[in-house]
Amino acid sequence: MIAQVLISMGILSVFIGSILVLIGTSMSSVEGSSEQGYTTARYQTSDDSEHVHKGPEGVSARPEVRGAGIIMLGPLPIILGTDSKSAQTLILLAIVLMLMAFFLFR
């Protein structure tokens, strides 16, 4: 009986989460396109240098983007990361998740 309730709640939460992601993505794309005001004037070769952040020696600085992800296949983790700091953080998270799985489902 309790297993059926848990399975139903899991399926329902996945379904609701999928709908929320779909709604959030569509709302974000509608708001983003109206706020940014894409026009052909934006892509002209005029002097847009005031909008570009300059680093040392006038080289345009790009923001550093870091990210990582973990895929748990049962108790085994697959860790993906763009830099070592993010990967190390996920290694610690994977160890915690493996220990939780071991103690909860043994």
Query: Is residue 25 domain-resident?
Result: yes
SS3 label, residue 103: helix
Query: Is residue 57 domain-resident?
Result: no
pLDDT digits 0-9 by tens, 69-103: 999 887 788 999 888 898 899 999 999 988 988 88
Query: Is residue 40 domain-resident?
Result: no
Q: Which amino acid is at 97?
A: L
The domain of 76 spans 67-106
Query: Is residue 43 domain-resident?
Result: no
pLDDT digits 0-9 by tens, 4-36: 999 999 999 999 999 999 998 888 887 766 555
Q: Which of 95, 64, 63 is nearest to 79 (CA)?
A: 95
DSSP 8-state symbol, 83 = S
Instruction: Work out how many domains the chain is built from and give that number.
Output: 2
